[in-house]
Structure 1
């Protein structure tokens, strides 16, 4: 049954919806993910003006690194290897396509999450798909928001937390001989110390951890590329040819390449799932589109940079040889490939990278679970503490348990998450374009830092209190963005 549902969702329904939303919004928005690619850096610079507000909200940069912490996980190391093993090098091409189109999808969903975010009694924000479903589509759709929240809790808050623990513990055990139980206990203790501090502590840890772990992995990939400069054009040609079935007997053919590329691309960058908008909504920004642009860049980091790093490490090595029939895949393939380039210490490097990626993802998954619970029970501290204890227990249990069936179940629930969110994005397509055009119009009018005026969107169910922006923050942001602060 799980295989049947996975086949229906991933090989038929979701591919169609991803194309409709990703390609459709790319065209309708005049390629927003490329038009504003350079502006993203100015937005991040201007976001520093919002770091000192009276409520201590997360800045746009903190929301970015927190979302990257979630997007960058085992899928970037093990998932890419699985895609190459089963779908051939062509799967990487389709993963790139999903990433580029996913940037537009992420822009849309994160912009909507910002627009419909709600202010909490302590001055912080909550938001995400459940909120833009219930407030964007109307009260009659609140049941769908509830369904989404349950799926989010089951998939990320519970299922993926255990799966990440299993991946990290087994990889660490293979590399260093550490018993999986000890790794699980260690992870549980560290994660517990962080999540009991709430989203602000998670963001502070991610702000330090994510640049280090992502930067180190990209650096080692650049070393591999430098060692194999002459072979790079051939590998790129192999990827493109395999994507269209022009390389026989590699992977599972063009169908497998497309399905694995789409599936692993979405699994890795999560564009369209609606997971990242839960984090994007927390940021204190001057305009919803500002955070949409920044979150589009997080998809680029995940898929076009980090996933590609793994792909080139594998394809430039002698470890990947489909003609040999050797059954090497997943993390083991990435470890063997890097060891082929730099020596045996490469295996340990991959294990440490996987541990850091998995650790950061567990923090992110916890927050998604907390946010889904908050939709049903607003800021219930006892409920949150019970969930935190459950997460700690799941990390210990997941590290010691073979979760093969759970992987298939998680694929189904993740597919259902994407289904609900993508249908919602289609229904809110016009609203997303309105928000984008408001941002565009202010830039054309000479405002270097567009500011959201909810009064211009009085027909939408927007929380006015969530858009009370301090005038001095606006002035500082305008100055950093190139204005005169008037």
Structure 2
């Protein structure tokens, strides 16, 4: 019965109703327009903001740690298993639509991260916390909607998504080394527990060490495969574009599948508009100390996740000589493709990559949900212990669950979160635009960029003492 309910909701959000696909496209176009194609015309500045990004203070993590924490959650099964799933169900054209949603999503990711930083609060340990629930409550004065979002977040990032990541780790290691999934689940629980027990700062330090290493290793591997198959590149790109617009032999039926699966898996990978990454953005003490600085940082995260890392997985699969079945396939399809390029060693590489990619997501997901304990006044030892216990139990369960069960719950939670978050950030557009104008004015005047509430008109109120001295 639960599967039927989840399936019905997903059918409305993602399936025949396709509400979220239209909503995400609208949000992408809306913020691209309102922010004057910031992802294109401010592309270079997006990288320059990373100068001095390793600086932080006692209240928050550094911008670089916030980027790595955001990437920890983004870079996971969506990059390896999700891309394979999109291609298996939507053909090579799904890759093009993943690029489209990423380009549009960069503007959406910028907008929500600016809000996460502006409306952040200090928790009981005097460290920064924030996210959609906080900017919905403070900016829109809709506490009931804030609670609804937080509950969806707990269902998604606090429970289901970590179970799904554990499922992919177990599937990859079981497929490669025949290790029983129960054992894998227990090991993941122990390792994840040892990282998350230290809270956001511990997770950020872990992400800062692991994410750059695993990202560079995967990109280097994709470059090697590309060089090995240079003669196949023109045909690959021709196939992507013809399939994306229904110009190949499969025709219009495949076009709908390519768009649906490309956008759905693209969103799942880069999370733009879902309301997850603002939690990492809110935890930072940015340099320069202006909310918009974190917008640029997390916009870079969307670019790196989908335009770089998801494209690498697509190259690995599409340049291989494996059959794309049309049935739902996940990490095993990526493993088969890598084995086609490198033999048995390819299987081992993907198993190691997905274990690292998914494990970083497991711990980052914990941080996102934990940020909302403060909203329910559960930001204490008892509250954290209760949440951590449930979270680790879900990780253990996920290792042995079936693929469709886990992905179905993940899609529903992500869809409900996105529905609430996009509604909120569209209503808060005037604040986003005013903050961006203030930043750009200071940038064009070549002055030291700082933020003062006196100079910018915002909706609602920020927490006293965060952006002002009173």
Question: Does 1:147 find its partner at 2:148?
Answer: yes
| Number of equivalent positions | 460
Distance 1:444 1:171, change over 3 A: same
CA distance in 1, matches of 2:217, 2:251: 31
Question: Does 1:400 find its partner at 2:400?
Answer: yes
Distance 1:250 1:210, change over 3 A: farther
Question: Is the 1:89–1:239 contact (alpha carbons within 8 Å) kept by the matching residues of 2?
Answer: yes
After superposition, give the CA deviation of every residue in 1:253-301 in whole Å (9 maximum; x if it has no partner): 1111111011000011100000000111000020011000010010011
Task: Give the secondary-structure state (helix, strand or coil) at the position aligned to 2:247.
Answer: coil
CA distance in 1, matches of 2:312, 2:180: 29
Matches for 1:192-211 after TM superposition, within 5 Å: 192-211=193-212
Question: Does 1:298 find its partner at 2:298?
Answer: no
Pick the aligned partner of 1:81 from 59, 71, 84.
84
Task: Give the secondary-structure state (helix, strand or coil) at the position aligned to 1:451.
Answer: coil
Comparing 107-116 with 329-338, which one deviates more in the overlay? 329-338
After superposition, give the CA deviation of every residue in 1:199-255 in whole Å (9 maximum; x if it has no partner): 111111110111111111111101111111121122111111111100123895111
| 1:443, distance to aligned residue in structure 2 (A) | 1.0
After superposition, give the CA deviation of every residue in 1:152-199 in whole Å (9 maximum; x if it has no partner): 001110111112112111210110121212211111111111111111
Question: Is the 1:136–1:428 contact (alpha carbons within 8 Å) kept by the matching residues of 2?
Answer: yes
- Aligned-residue Cα RMSD (Å) equals 1.8
Question: Does 1:338 find its partner at 2:338?
Answer: yes
After superposition, give the CA deviation of every residue in 1:299-321 in whole Å (9 maximum; x if it has no partner): 011100111111111111101x3
Question: Is the 2:102–2:307 contact (alpha carbons within 8 Å) kept by the matching residues of 1?
Answer: yes
Distance 1:396 1:457, change over 3 A: same
Comparing 388-397 with 87-96, which one deviates more in the overlay? 388-397
| 1:13, distance to aligned residue in structure 2 (A) | 1.4
| Unpaired segments ≥5 residues, structure 2 | none
Pick the aligned partner of 2:317 from 298, 314, 319.
314
TM-score of the superposed pair, with normalisation by structure 2: 0.94
Question: Does 1:267 find its partner at 2:268?
Answer: yes
Distance 1:326 1:65, change over 3 A: closer
Which residue is equivalent to 1:375? Answer: 375
| 1:403, distance to aligned residue in structure 2 (A) | 5.3
Distance 1:464 1:453, change over 3 A: farther
Question: Is the 1:87–1:251 contact (alpha carbons within 8 Å) kept by the matching residues of 2?
Answer: no
Which residue is equivalent to 1:103? Answer: 106
Which residue is equivalent to 1:451? Answer: 450
Question: Does 1:8 find its partner at 2:12?
Answer: yes
CA distance in 2, matches of 1:17, 1:421: 11
Pick the aligned partner of 2:32 from 26, 34, 42.
26
Which residue is equivalent to 1:47? Answer: 53
| 1:379, distance to aligned residue in structure 2 (A) | 2.0
| Unpaired segments ≥5 residues, structure 1 | 470-486
Distance 1:158 1:328, change over 3 A: closer
CA distance in 1, matches of 2:378, 2:42: 36
Question: Is the 2:88–2:326 contact (alpha carbons within 8 Å) kept by the matching residues of 1?
Answer: no
Question: Is the 2:98–2:263 contact (alpha carbons within 8 Å) kept by the matching residues of 1?
Answer: yes
Question: Is the 1:66–1:203 contact (alpha carbons within 8 Å) kept by the matching residues of 2?
Answer: yes
Matches for 1:344-423 after TM superposition, within 5 Å: 344-377=344-377, 379-402=379-402, 404-423=404-423
CA distance in 1, matches of 2:92, 2:166: 28
Task: Give the secondary-structure state (helix, strand or coil) at the position aligned to 1:38.
Answer: helix
CA distance in 2, matches of 1:407, 1:229: 35
Which residue is equivalent to 1:178? Answer: 179
Distance 1:40 1:103, change over 3 A: same
CA distance in 1, matches of 2:27, 2:11: 20
TM-score of the superposed pair, with normalisation by structure 1: 0.91
Distance 1:464 1:233, change over 3 A: farther
Distance 1:259 1:458, change over 3 A: closer
Which residue is equivalent to 2:225? Answer: 224
